[in-house]
Structure formats: C-alpha cells, structure tokens
Structure 1
Amino acid sequence: MTTRRSPLVLLDLDGTLVDSAPGITASVVTAFTAMGLPVPDAAGLRSFVGPPLPASMTAHGVAAERMSEAIGSYRRAFEDGGMWNSQVFPGIPDQLRRLRAAGATLAVATSKPEVYARPICERFGLAELVDGVYGAPLDHVPSTKATVIAHALEELPLLGVEVPPVEQILMVGDRHHDVTGAAEHGIACLGVAWGYAEPGELDDAAGLVPAVGVLADTVLAQLARH
C-alpha cells in the first residue's frame, strides 16, 4: 500500500464537530434516576459532554462499586435514542472540506466509545469527510484522551497514512482533557469557543478558534508555524 504524509488534524467529536449535549444529558438523567441518585444540576449535566464517562460519573458521586451499573444505565438510554439526539454544528462540513482540500489528513479522536462514534459520524455525514474515526473501548479498560490519540496514531498507518512528526499534528477540541491528552504526546491543541468548556478551561491551549467559520484558517495557520 502506498503511504502518504501530510499534516494530521485530530478532531474531538462532542462539542467540536457535533452538538451532542441533548442526548448525553438526557441519558445521564435517565441513569441517575434509575439508580436513585440525585440528578446533577444543569451545569453538572453539561460537564458530562466530552470527558470520559467514568471520570464524569465519579465526579458526580457515583461510587466505584456502582460504576458498572451507572454506565450500563447510561448506555441503555443512549442506545435507545440519545446517541441520535444531536446535530453537526453549522458550517463544520465546509470547514472539513477546506482542510482536506489544503492537503490535511483528518481523523476524529473522541472519548466516546468507538462503537458509538463511528455510526454517529456516518449518520451525520462526517465519516465521508475524515480519514478515520477513533474512540475509546466500550469495556471498562481505563481510557483517556491520550490513549485515544495513541490509538489513532497506531491505526492510521493501516489506512496508508504516514503519521507526520508531532510538529505537524494538531488536536482540536473544546475541553481541557483534549489539551492535556495532546500534550502527553507532545502535540499542540487548539481550543474551540463553541463547545462546552468552562471559563478558563482552555487557557493552556495553543490558541482558541473563535467561530466555526474560521476553523480551517486557524488550523492551517497553526500548522504553518512549524
């Protein structure tokens, strides 16, 4: 297989490409209610969008011995319809096309389990605009954004993509775990202003993309610095 090397842009899914809060938060409400636990307030529910689910469950009082029950309740609700209760942010498809036209390789790198991320990207027309979709394992193997990035970097060569030096790889995401996960690999991360970050959460990012309409220009400008 002929390999090709080009700049690589890793894209978070929830809060970066897709507004998935309605389905995620509704599934969280269903899970906490089924377990007889206090449902987080609006800000707490919003904080579930993006980070690995076990970390969010722990942060909101789910004990370790009930984690499997909590995740199972959430996933049943998510699979019953929550995963489709989302929409692509307006303008994202055009920005992805611009990046590909500029020669960038694009891959989704999400903390969402890959078995959900792939059909979601297919349903909403994103799969055809990227070179690969990578996510977390479905089982209880510990997963972070850093492990998801490692998974993507290991799998992309199987598609004929020669992974470039870290200076030509860029993560784009809306939460701090995108920044820290990328940093573990020596990769810069651009934050996006339209996602679910709390004030100051993206202060450590290499920069901030203020609006969807300038995503491609901002990414290409960041890559051009190296």
Structure 2
Amino acid sequence: MTSPALDHPVRLGATAVLLDLDGTVTDSAAAITGAIAETLEAFGRPPLVQDTLLRFVGPPIREGFRDIAAVPEAEIEPLVADYRTRYAARMADVPVFPGVDELIRSWHAAGVPLALATAKLQTMAEPILDAAGLTAYFTTVSGVLAGEDTLGGVQVKANVISRALEGLSAAGADITGAVMVGDRYHDIAGAGTHGLTSVLVRWGYGRPGEEEGAAAVVHDAGELAAVLAARPSTS
C-alpha cells in the first residue's frame, strides 16, 4: 500500500542530506541481532525472538537492553561491553541497501553535501562507512561520543544531528533546506528538535507508526531521490 505521503508526492528540494546509518544506509540487522543474542545467552538472560531483536537496531544499545530485554539499569554496563566486543568483530561485514550507494554517489556528483548522523558510536561508524567505500562522499560524519550514549534515544539522536549540522555549516554547506533521512522514530523526533524536515525510509527496521512527524515516507532509493530532488521551477 502506498503511503499517504507518496499519494501526493512532495519535492523537498534538499540543500543538504543527513543520513542515518543502520537501517538506512547499511543492512546491519544480522550483525547487530546476532551479537545481542549471543550477549543475552552469555549472561543467562532469556532469549528473544528475531522480531523482538530487530527492535534493537537503531536506538542506543543501552536503551535496547533496558526497554526491550528488561535488563535492570544497574546490570546493563557489562552487557553493553560484551555486546560491543562481539559486534566489533562483524560490524564492517554488512551490505549497503539496494540503490543507496548509487544514490549517495549521485548526490555527491551533483554537489549535494552529505552528513552521516547515527546513534552508533563515532568510533564504530567511521570504520563501517570506510568498509562500505562511502566515506569520501560525506562532508562530515557524526556519531555518538564517549559517555553520551547514557542519554535517552531521542536526545542522543538530537545531539548527533546537531553536530552533523555544525559540520556541514563549517564546510560551507547550505543547511537552510537540510533534510534528515532515517528509518526509526528516533531519527524523525531527533530531527524535529531542530525544526529539521525528515523522511522515513521503509526498507529499514521501523515499525508502523514510527513515521509520525516525517514529511514523507519512501519505499526505495528511487522514491527517496524523487522526494529530495529540487523543486520544479515556477518561473
């Protein structure tokens, strides 16, 4: 079923594009959920079905262990450390979603400034983007800084987006028409804290209802390209 946002197509005329990583650029579900399942087993926690494990993909990992796996706050830190060790060994071995790498290259060739804005640790985001061969196309890469992941998910995303906008601006990019693109509610709500227009992609891991507040919902890279294309001239 076509989303209401695409029944009446919009042209946002993006002057710069901020992209989430997991679920938007990279199909990282298997790497993340596999590491989480192993960590839960290692700590004697109840196993979770795959659909539940997918809810971990996108928000800060501490939030996932607390809210999805019901791990008490005082017990979360060792699980986070164990998960990150397991995940680091496989984090770069993930595919890019179909058409997204070509879209990124086409935006870059057209002079559209790009920023990565992810709730993943900065120290993890950079090598993942490198492994995908996409680093050269981004003006700035903004991930979570040490200690920042203890904040709520929306606040973490808002902070990451803030730094991405600062990086774009410092490089001379026009951010007056910047658009955030992501697959989860945190992306949409985080963008909203800055008054930023956002687009939700359906190829990621979002659940029904997470698109609330987005200017558009798209189902493939072609639709995303069309939504972010320059507005037709009225002259």
Write the deviation string for residues 64-119 of structure 1: whole angstroms up to 9, x where unpaired: 1111111001011012x221231111211211122223331101100010100000
Alignment of structure 1 residues 37-186 onto 2, 5 Å:
37-59=45-67, 60-79=69-88, 81-139=89-147, 140-142=149-151, 144-158=156-170, 160-165=171-176, 168-186=177-195
3-state SS, counterpart of residue 144 of structure 1 = helix
- Match of residue 199 from structure 1: 208
Give the 3 Å change call, closer, same or farther, for CA 124–175 of structure 1 in structure 2.
Answer: same
Asked if 1:18 is matched to 2:18, the reply is no
Give the C-alpha shift of residue 205 in structure 1: 1.1
TM-score by length of 2: 0.85
RMSD: 2.1
TM-score by length of 1: 0.88
Give the C-alpha shift of residue 221 in structure 1: 5.0
| Higher fraction of strand | 1
Instruction: Give the % identical residues.
Output: 37
Stretches of structure 2 that go unaligned for 5 or more consecutive residues are 1-13
Write the deviation string for residues 14-45 of structure 1: whole angstroms up to 9, x where unpaired: 00011000100011011111111112211110
Write the deviation string for residues 36-59 of structure 1: whole angstroms up to 9, x where unpaired: 111221111000111111111111
- Match of residue 36 from structure 1: 44
Give the 3 Å change call, closer, same or farther, for CA 161–57 of structure 1 in structure 2.
Answer: farther
3-state SS, counterpart of residue 17 of structure 1 = coil
Give the 3 Å change call, closer, same or farther, for CA 42–222 of structure 1 in structure 2.
Answer: farther
Number of residue equivalences: 216
* CA distance in structure 1 between the partners assigned to 2:27 and 2:60 by the alignment: 17
The one-letter amino acid paired with 2:190 is: G
Residues 22 and 85, structure 1, Cα contact 8 Å, conserved in 2: no
Structure with the bigger RCO (C-alpha within 8 Å, sep 6+) is 2
Write the deviation string for residues 163-184 of structure 1: whole angstroms up to 9, x where unpaired: 522xx11000000110000000
The one-letter amino acid paired with 1:151 is: R
Give the 3 Å change call, closer, same or farther, for CA 42–16 of structure 1 in structure 2.
Answer: same
The one-letter amino acid paired with 2:70 is: G
Moved over 4 A (4+): 221-224
Give the 3 Å change call, closer, same or farther, for CA 32–138 of structure 1 in structure 2.
Answer: farther
Stretches of structure 1 that go unaligned for 5 or more consecutive residues are 1-5
